Amino acid sequence: MADYDVVVIGAGSTGTAVARDCAMRGLRTLLLERDDIASATVGTCAGMISSGLKYMDEPEIVDMCSDEVVHFLRIARHIIMKNPILTPMLEMSDLSSGGNFAEEYSKRAESRDVPPVLFLTPEDSREIEPSLNPEIIASLYFEEYFIDPFRLCILQALDAKNHGADVKTYCELVDIDVKDGKIVGVVYFNRITREEKRVSTHIVINAAGPWASKVAKFAEAKVDLRLNKGAHVILDRRVVNVGVIAKAVDGRMIYLFPHENTTLLGTTAIDTWEDPDTLTASHDEIEYLLQSMEWVIPSIRDARIIRTMEGVRPLVADWKIPEGKVTRGYEIIDHSSQNIKGLISFTGGKLVMCRHMAEAATDLAAEMLRVETECKTHLEPLPGNEDDVDVLALAKEFDISQHAVERLRARRGTETRMILELTKDHPDWKTTICTCEPVIEAEIRYSIRHEFPQTLNDLRRRVRLGTGPCQATFCTYKAAAILADERELSGHDFQLDILDFLSERWKGKRPSFRREQIIQEEVAQGMYACVGNLDLTLGSVYTRKPWEDWS
Ligand SMILES: Cc1cc2nc3c(=O)[nH]c(=O)nc-3n(C[C@H](O)[C@H](O)[C@H](O)COP(=O)(O)OP(=O)(O)OC[C@H]3O[C@@H](n4cnc5c(N)ncnc54)[C@H](O)[C@@H]3O)c2cc1C
């Protein structure tokens, strides 16, 4: 018997959803991720589980997205937020396209528990969002849902594990064994132990996003992708009360979303042939976004850019059409058509479709394995979504600020109580470690014990540590000390972990520097160098992890 029925490659939104579905259907599943969960494309996305109306000329996709939103509200409501959105209009020609959108949106509004689209006068629009340009002639008001993409992936992976899957982070697929035209196994390299391991499997599901072509090549199979770069700019505060969607300089739609205690401005869309591992946002991309949004929010440049965030969309390979016309649907490749049985790959898709994509791939895998299974991923709650949480009562019972408990609830749902219970034996674990969020010590310790983070960066994805306006200036050392305590790390490893974390932050900060920020960064670097005795020149080696050789 083979070691596994299915090996899934990549722990982004797609791979974690596939691993969860396979494990829930009783397939013996291994999930391999070369870095951390949600460390690639999905971690750079806006997290909008949109109604799909941007793609109005693909009605089947609009229907699919609407249905998926309903499923997410059932299985993951604790990590979902509903955001009101305004689309301000500056010209009469905007009104007709707005009319079509309003009609399509309103048809599906009830099922998604949102109101139909409203047309607002300039006065009403500015009452909702005072920073709108006074010259707007009207605006559309509607509501969309957003999910925390990091938590979604972590919860899908944990649920896969709870259903028996093996989940291995920092394990990179380095070869696929094919015998007589059939998948028989994979070889992976464990980046922490530096060991290679071979396991046997009947099926490989390639959910490697922009790296899907590279993964397929290990089996001498082919996946064509149209890689498309997208960049976001993150502003240091909530510059708007509500989301704003506006026409960019080239007629594309861009957005400004208040996100936690910052604001997300995005996104660009540029065909790319660059290595997805080393992309950064360009000056042109930042200016494109700022100038476009400035037309409707004239004060946008008053906010400080704290970082940029860029990712690569692994689009379906439709060529000779503009990027905006490429389908946002997905395709599943059964590589039997290339004479390799047991290999399944994805192209295209979106975060909002990840559960749907997983269901389709798992159906195909089950058919190949000749087992009868039923998908339940749209019915069963993800961990933390089992019940409601009474934030006020918990804040009172554990004598902790209501704000801290509310932020904890938004990441954890019913796990909030389990985390607060830890403070009964350790009252000092109520200490706030990251003040921007806030994150308390008990949550960090809980995450280290139950969510397999290996580094501070991994902790950031699980608890949002260091992602707020101060960009980790004040929480890094405190969190590193907790990680070192839980993991019994040496002083040397403790320092390397901090360097790895700061260099990852630096990657996103560097493209955003303007005027005073350069001086501020000099001060911050001086602080790390003098107080922490950290040689930040080492931190410029982005790809290195704490356990790798930094000498
Ligand atoms: C700027 C931007 C904004 C977006 N906004 C939205 C949005 O608001 N809503 C929405 O629905 N969609 C959005 N998307 C699209 C969405 O983010 C992607 O479609 C989706 O996240 C892709 O997820 P994935 O799991 O397929 O890929 P990834 O997240 O890239 O995951 C692939 C994983 O495979 C791993 N991997 C690669 N090679 C190997 C190997 N050899 N061994 C082991 N592991 C390997 C990688 O490390 C990676 O973690 C956005 C995309 C971008 C770029």
Closest to 75 (Cα-Cα) out of 425, 404, 413, 334: 413
Each residue's pLDDT tens digit, 245-287: 999 999 999 999 998 778 999 999 999 998 898 888 999 999 9
Measured from the Cβ of residue 434, the count of other Cβ atoms closer than 10 Å reads 26
The answer to whether the beta carbons of residues 539 and 501 sit under 8 Å apart is no
Residue 3, pLDDT > 90, answer yes
Pocket test for ligand 1, best of 69, 211, 213, 343 (most atoms within 8 A of CB): 211
Compute, in angstroms, the gap from residue 350 CA to the centroid of ligand 1: 8
**Overall average pLDDT of the 436-464 stretch:** 92
**What is the Cα–Cα distance from 41 to 43, expressed in whole angstroms?**
5
The answer to whether the beta carbons of residues 246 and 253 sit under 8 Å apart is yes
The DSSP call for residue 116 is P
Query: What is the predicted pLDDT for the residue at 248?
Result: 94
- State the pLDDT confidence band at 550, using cuts at 50, 70 and 90: low
Q: Is 168 in the pocket of ligand 1 (CB under 6 A)?
A: no
Among left, alpha and beta (phi > 0; psi -120 to 50; other), residue 530 is alpha
CATH class of 4-41+150-224+328-369: alpha beta
The answer to whether the beta carbons of residues 30 and 9 sit under 8 Å apart is no
Q: Is 289 in the pocket of ligand 1 (CB under 6 A)?
A: no
Query: What is the predicted pLDDT for the residue at 541?
Result: 43
The answer to whether the beta carbons of residues 400 and 434 sit under 8 Å apart is no
CATH: 3.30.9.10, 3.40.710.10, 3.30.470.10, 3.40.50.300. Which one for 82-143+226-317? 3.30.9.10
Length in residues, the chain: 551
The answer to whether the beta carbons of residues 279 and 507 sit under 8 Å apart is no
Residue intervals in the chain for CATH 3.50.50.60: 4-41+150-224+328-369
Compute, in angstroms, the gap from residue 41 CA to the centroid of ligand 1: 3
Q: Is 456 in the pocket of ligand 1 (CB under 6 A)?
A: no
**Overall average pLDDT of the 413-425 stretch:** 97
Return the ligand 1 atom nearest residue 32 CA. Answer: 43
Query: What is the predicted pLDDT for the residue at 119?
Result: 93
For the record, the structure tokens of 52 come out as: 């799909």
Average model confidence (pLDDT) for the chain?
91
Q: Is 12 in the pocket of ligand 1 (CB under 6 A)?
A: yes
Query: What is the predicted pLDDT for the residue at 22?
Result: 98
**What is the Cα–Cα distance from 209 to 323, expressed in whole angstroms?**
17
Q: Is 219 in the pocket of ligand 1 (CB under 6 A)?
A: no
Residue 203, pLDDT > 70, answer yes
**What is the Cα–Cα distance from 240 to 163, expressed in whole angstroms?**
42
Each residue's pLDDT tens digit, 463-513: 988 777 676 777 888 899 999 999 998 888 888 888 888 887 777 877 877
Q: Is 65 in the pocket of ligand 1 (CB under 6 A)?
A: no
Return the ligand 1 atom nearest residue 13 CA. Answer: 25
Residue intervals in the chain for CATH 3.30.9.10: 82-143+226-317
3-state secondary structure of 97: helix
Name the closest-CA residue to atom 14, ligand 1: 45
Return the ligand 1 atom nearest residue 351 CA. Answer: 11
